[in-house]
Structures are given as C-alpha cells and as structure tokens.
Amino acid sequence: MAKNEIMEVKPGSVLEFYDDKELTCGVCLEVKNHRLRVLTAKNREINMAVNRVLLNTNGDLNLGEGREKLVQKLVEISQERQELAESVPVEELWELLIEEEDESYCCQELAEMVYSSPPSPNQVAAILRAILRNPFYFKYRDRKFYINPPEKVEQIKLMLQREAEKRRQLAEGADWLRSVWKRQPAEEPDFKSRIVKLLKEFCVFGKDAPEYSFTKELLSKAKIPLVGGAFKLLVRLGEWKEDENILLYKYEVPIEFSEKVEEEVERIKQQTLAKPVSEVEGREDLRELELITIDGALTRDYDDAISFKELPGGEYEIGVHIADAAHFVKPKSTLDEEALSRAVSIYLPDRRIPMLPPQLSEEICSLWADKDRLAVSILIKLSPELEVLDYRITPSLVRVKRQLTYTDVNLFLESEAIFQKLHHIARSLREKRIQRGASIIYVPEIRIWVNQEGMIQLSKQDEETPSQIIVSELMVLANSLVARYFSERDIPGIYRIQGEPRAEDRPASSDSILFQKYRQRRLLSRAELSVEAERHCSVGVSCYTTITSPIRRYLDLVMQRQLKSYLEKSEPVYSREELKDIINRIQEPQSNAMYIKRTWTRYWILKYLEQEDITITEALVLDKGTRFYKLLLPDFMLEVNMKADPKLDIQPGDTIKIRIERVNPREDILRVALC
C-alpha cells in the first residue's frame, strides 16, 4: 500500500490500532468521510481517522448481533491474538531476512513465512502484535516492516534497557524520597548516589541542570515541592548543611587545594626552613623601622604594614611595606595557576576561601609581628605641606613591631602622637585628592559574622573611622605612585581606570545624606582593567593600579612580580599581550567572587532578620516606578522592592516605616508593606 493510499475499511471489519498507547482491536461500526466509528474490546466507542488503523484483517463481524455480543467476540479475538503473539519467533524471522535489509514486508507476507498453511486473520494480527512488542528487529512505517541492521538492533536494545532502568529508578527513587521527606525509615536504593547527584545539580543549576526533566519528574512523583524541596531533601539526607552555599558550586569555586599545590607549598616551607628569609640576598634591611599592621580583628593574612618617621625640616617619611608573595609564588608554577584560577580571596560571613593556601597566606608570607619577613617597600618623602617630594621602591627585609586592629588605632588616637600625625596626613592627602576630582562616597557598612553554631552577629558602621582613613589613604598613595612608576618608565602594567561620572537624568531632592550618596554612586562609571595608563576619576589620579594585596588578589601579585623584575633586572616578566590575557582570565572569577560575596552576605542578613524576629523598621525610598518602590533598609543596608500604590504620595528621598511580612533567605525573598 502506498504511503498516502487510504485503507479501505467497511462496517464490520475487525481492526488493529493504538488506543491510549495500547494496541487493541475493535470493529468498525460506521464509515463516514474517511473517519470511523469503532467499538473496542473494552466496550468503548471511539471516533477516529482511517489512517490510525494499523491492520485490517478482513475478519468481518455481523453488526446485527448486538453490542454485547460484539464486545464478547472482540474480547475472544483479542485474547487469541495475544496468545498467538507470545509464540511468534520474531528474532528467528529477523535472522531469516537479515540479508534483505532493503526489502519491506506486510503482516500478511510475514505471517505466511511463520505459519505452514495460509495464515488466519488472528495469526496475521499476532505477527503485528509480536513485532511491535519487540521493536528491536523491525522498523514499522506506512503499515510495512523493514529489517533493522544488527548495529541498529543493539542500539535500540540499549535504548530500551536504559528507558526501563529509568522507569525503575523513577518509581523506586520516588518511593524512597517520599519516605525521606516524611522522615520515615526506608531502604536506600542501589542508585542513591545518582539521585543525590541529580538533586544537587537541580539545586545548583535549576532548569540548566543536565537532567532537569528527570529530576523534576522524580520530585513530582514523590509529591515533593519543586521550589526548595530538593534542597530540604539534601539537608535531611545529611549531604548539605542548612546554610549550604550553593553559589560556590554554581560558579565552581574551589574550596580545597589540590595535592600538587599542597606539595609545592610544602617544598617552599622546607626551603624557607633551610634558608631563613634573613639570608635572602638583594634585600634592604629595614627591620629597624617601627612597622605597624592595621587590620580587622579576624585577619590572619597580613599583606601590608606601614611605618612613619619624622625627618629634619618638618618633612615625613611614610613607608608602605607589602608582603613579598612573588618571591614564593613563581610564574607558571602549579601554585601560580591555582592562584590565577581563583583570582581573589573570598571573605564571607561564615568562611574564608583564600587565593593562596593558608601555609603561605597566613604563615610564610603574612607580616606577623616579631617575625622576619620579605617585603617590597615603598618609602615616600612628604614635605611639611604633605606634597610628595620623592619616593623609592625597594625589595626589603622587615619585621613588624605592632599588630593592631582598626579598633586599637581608634582608641590610641587620643594618646599616641604617631596616630594623630598619621590621621592628619591621611586627611590632608584625601583633601588633595578631592581637589583633583576624587569622589569619596562612603556609605554605611554592615559587618556580619557567623559562628560555628550558626549564630549571627551584625554591626553597622555609619562613618569611616580614623584608622580606616589612615590605611585607605596610605594604600591609595602607594598604589598611585607605583602606577606612576610604571607609566613613566613605560613598563607594561595593569591599570585600574574609570571614566567621568554620568550626568543626573532624574534629579531628586532630599534632606537624606544617605539618599544623596546613593544617587551619586549610581552615576559613577564602571571601573575597568586596562594595560593603558588612564585616569581613575573616583580615586582622583592620572593613573592607578593595585599592588598592596598580593596575598589576596592575583592582579596585585602580577604587578608585584613585574615591579620586582624591573627593580632587579631592569626588564619585565610580562609583555602587554600577556597582561591582556591575564586581565581576560581573572575578570570572570573576580566578578563571580563579588557576586557570591554580595549575595551570600544578603542571605545572612535575611537570616538575621529571622533570628531576631524583626518585623518593623524604617526604609528610605531610593526610586519610584510604575509598579514598585525601590527601598533601602538603612539599619541593614538591604535593598528591597515594595508594591507601589498610586493613592500614596511617596517620593524618592522619603523615609517611611515598613512592616516585614515574609522572609525566606534560601529563596532570597523579602516581602514588605507600608505600616
């Protein structure tokens, strides 16, 4: 029968066709406009197109016998055909015809090969049922069977085996997960590890998970919510903690260091023990200077220190001393490649993920008090008017005398002259930067810590403290001088650049200083990395780089290498093209790290709102749209949207009181309403 040829069907014909995905037989009751009214063996009448018929066996039934009799006969026919199909040697038939792959056969022809005498209608139908039930050997198209080659047979068998295994895992897996969800005892399936893997991928990648559809079906079959359900299962299974940071998995942030990296660090440690840093040649001994570190209370990776001397004639010498990580981390080494892939250390409320292994970042390189350490020192001479008269950069040997926190320095400010003078110098340096166009927009900082028991401590710092200003300004001074050093000598380097701020397109007035600062920050151009020395508008300098955190930032490590190589050999380590490649490689992990830090800090602040059961707070209106107000909760520096109400006269810059209606840290949900 040709492909488009319509099968001739008459009332009373017994037909084979699929009904609800099940091969069944029925009798044609009526033919009208190529559509059939058919009575099935299940006593169901259906209306269908002629092209749905797979086989017309011409086994006519007498329609005048009545419906009940017709159904009874159809049941008998169906049972006989099914029993006959059980004994059809499909594989033997295929082996007989394998040499004739290009031929096609109808059911009648195949039945004649299987049965010795002319086949009955039920035997012909049995051939159809047997072959369709075992779809490995023949391909069915246009009511004809085509022989599948052996490789195709194996492929189909494998595919069907996989489908059967999938159905098994779906059924057994759903039963097991339902028990886990209900906290009921249940035997673990032999494919537990696969289910755990699928659940993790579902949580991390969502709809982009490799087997999203299967996992979704698994959860649905187990009657477990799609939103949050997979995560809760993993917690109940003990695979994840309640506060698991899945962003680290999503962005493939390495937590541990490889065995090869650890071996390299151990070699460095043994070399340092065999030859103490005090014996390293080519170092200027600056151990007589009174070096001070100023860092946070939890800091262990001290990568910069400062010194201060008063010189004759009212001049000053400021020293910025940077841990010499480049001495230990060699270009292209295993350790260097690891640092490049990480790009930065990530500091989160509940953990630290260092760029360099702790044995280096917190021990060998770190500028600990009373320990000889290698450094790169920038010694800056200032006039009585605090203008830079001269500066020099030297590889050095240093020893920190005092290890102080920001809080320590703030407390000592009234009693120790050194900090009073440093604060005066820092404020003067800042004022000069502002005069050169710098934008100093300090917004309150939320500092949040989480202990091992999961308890959250939160504090807010509304103003920049004297100790922060000291450190910030001296680091800016050192970084800008190093950038100038590179630019004036045409040494290839990586610069931080930033264009002029954008003009305000939607002016808004408010007495809120915080509102004004947010509006100003919104107008700042994006800072970028470049191998060209261009102006950094926010810092207020003609060229700028960073070199003061080589333990924590790969960019600073690269610039330290480049600087040391020029100081020692008058030639750079990297060409401009190599530096461009480094920029391209560090930008993604840097961007990911910033996003993870911002998002995970928000998570813990939302947890804090839950922990403290905070329901009422103030909000600053940052912007007004047609559907939502954009709000800032100043006590927590959290941004949130609130549904707009056209009846209310709320304008950007207003301070309002809001009610926190719902908090869900895991789903990043913060729902608020006007009190």
525 and 597 both lie in a single domain: yes
pLDDT for 476 equals 97
* pLDDT of 4 higher than 60: no
pLDDT tens for each residue of 180-218: 999 999 999 999 999 999 999 999 999 999 999 999 999
Residue 641 has pLDDT above 60, yes or no: yes
CA atoms of 23 and 490, how far apart (whole Å): 81
pLDDT higher than threshold 70 for residue 52? yes
Residue 419 CA to residue 93 CA, distance in Å, equals 97
CATH number at residue 633: 2.40.50.140
Q: What percent of the chain has pLDDT over 90?
A: 87
Work out whether the CA dihedral 524, 525, 530, 532 comes out positive or negative. Answer: negative
What per-residue confidence (pLDDT) applies to 394?
A: 98
At 1, the pLDDT band (50, 70, 90 cuts) reads very low
92 φ/ψ angles, rounded to the nearest 5 degrees: -65, -40
Q: Are 572 and 531 within 8 A, CB to CB?
A: no
From 175, 171, 100, 173, select the one nearest 138 (Cα to Cα): 100
**What's the burial of 371, exposed, middle or buried (CB within 10 Å: 0-12/13-18/19+)?**
middle
Q: What is the token pair recorded at 420?
A: 């009073």
SS3 10: coil
Would the pLDDT of 508 be above 90?
A: no
Residue 1 in any domain: the answer is: no
Give exposure, 158-176, as e/b (b: 16+ Cβ within 10 Å): eeeeeeeeeeebeeebbeb
Residue among 227, 228, 226, 236 at smallest CA distance from 176: 236
The vertex-477 CA angle with 376 and 526, nearest 5°, equals 110
> Residues 596, 617: one domain?
no
71-88: average pLDDT: 95
Within a domain: 4:
no
pLDDT over threshold 90, residue 157: no
Write down the pLDDT at residue 110: 94
**pLDDT for position 5:** 64
Long-range contacts of 428-435 (CB under 8 A, 24+ apart): 428/386, 429/386, 429/473, 429/474, 429/476, 429/477, 430/469, 430/473, 432/386, 433/476, 433/539, 433/540, 433/541, 434/540
Kindly state whether residues 654 and 588 are assigned to the same domain.
Answer: no
The 3-state secondary structure of 555-615 reads HHHHHHHHHHHHHHHCCCCCCHHHHHHHHHHHHHHHHHHHHHHHHHHHHHHHHHHHHCCCC
Residue 7: pLDDT band (50, 70, 90) is: confident
Tell me the per-residue pLDDT of 523-555, one tens digit each, with 9 for 90 and over.
Answer: 999 999 999 999 999 999 999 999 999 999 999
For residue 91, report the phi and psi dihedrals to the nearest 5 degrees. -65, -40
SS3 114: helix
Residue 363: pLDDT band with limits 50, 70, 90: very high
Say what percent of the chain tops pLDDT 70: 99
Q: Are residues 120 and 269 in the same domain?
A: no
- Are both 387 and 441 inside the same structural domain? yes
Quote the mean pLDDT of the chain: 94
Sign of CA dihedral 294, 300, 304, 305: positive
Please check whether residue 8 lies inside any domain of the structure: no
Is 218 inside any structural domain? yes
Contact call for residues 293 and 302 (beta carbons, < 8 A): yes
Residue that is last in its domain, among 240, 271, 297: 240
| Residue 376 forms part of a structural domain | yes
Q: Do the domain assignments include residue 248?
A: no
State the Cα–Cα distance between residues 467 and 638, nearest whole angstrom: 26
Q: What tokens were used for 418?
A: 């050194």
Model-wide pTM > 0.85: no
Q: Work out the average pLDDT over 242-248.
A: 96
Cα distances (angstroms) measured from residue 439 to each of 73, 84, 476, 632: 92, 89, 13, 22
Between CA 20 and CA 44 the distance in angstroms is 12
Tally of domains within the chain: 4
For the chain, report the end-to-end CA distance as a whole number of angstroms: 77
- Per-residue pLDDT, averaged over 274-278, amounts to 93
Task: Looking at the structure, tell me whether residues 335 and 388 fall in a common domain.
Answer: yes
Is residue 39 located within the same domain as residue 119? yes
Q: How far is CA 90 from the centre of its chain?
A: 52
Q: Kind of pairing, strands 638-643 and 628-633? A: antiparallel
CA distance 83 to 49: 28
Taking residues 8-15, what's their average pLDDT? Answer: 93
pLDDT at residue 156, as a whole number: 87
| Backbone phi, psi, residue 62, to 5° | -85, 110
Range of the domain at 32: 14-148
Q: Annotate 335-383 with DSSP letters as a single string.
A: HHHHHHHH-B-EEETTEEE-SS-HIIIIIISS--BT-EEEEEEEEEEE-
Distance CA 176, CA 170 (A): 10
pLDDT over 80 at 509, yes or no = no
Q: Which residues make beta-bridge pairs with 447? A: 459
Q: What is the mean pLDDT of residues 83-92?
A: 94
- Average pLDDT for residues 476-504, to the nearest whole number? 95
**pLDDT at 160 (0 to 100):** 86
Q: How would residue 357 be classed by pLDDT, with cut points 50, 70 and 90? A: very high
β-strand 22-32 against 14-19: which pairing, if any?
A: antiparallel
Q: Return the bridge partners of 143, or none.
A: none
Note whether residue 119 is domain-resident.
yes
Checking if the pLDDT of 463 tops 60, the result is yes
How confident is the model over 574-582, as a mean pLDDT? 97
- Write out pLDDT tens, residues 132-154: 998 889 999 888 999 999 998 89
Q: What is the mean pLDDT of residues 408-427?
A: 96
Regarding whether 330 and 289 lie in a shared domain, the answer is: yes
Q: Are residues 557 and 534 in the same domain?
A: yes
DSSP string, 57-89: ------GGG-HHHHHHHHHHHHHHHHHHHHT--
Please tell me whether residues 649 and 594 are part of one structural domain.
no
The answer to the question of residue 252 being in a domain is no
Identify which of 598, 563, 578, 557 has the alpha carbon closest to the alpha carbon of residue 340. 557
Q: Distance between CA 507 and CA 369 in Å, rounded?
A: 51
Asked whether residue 278 falls in the same domain as residue 369, the answer is yes
Residue 505's pLDDT band (cuts 50, 70, 90): confident
**Among the listed residues 293, 269, 298, the one whose alpha carbon sits nearest the alpha carbon of residue 365:** 269
Per-residue pLDDT tens for 368-396? 999 999 999 999 999 999 999 999 999 99
pLDDT of residue 503: 84
Q: Residue 191: name the closest of 215, 208, 207, 172 by CA.
A: 172
Final residue of a domain: which of 602, 621, 654? 602
- pLDDT score of 454: 83
Residue 264's nearest CA partner among 322, 328, 354, 184 is: 328
Same domain, yes or no: 60 and 130 = yes
Domain boundary at 105, 129, 148, which? 148
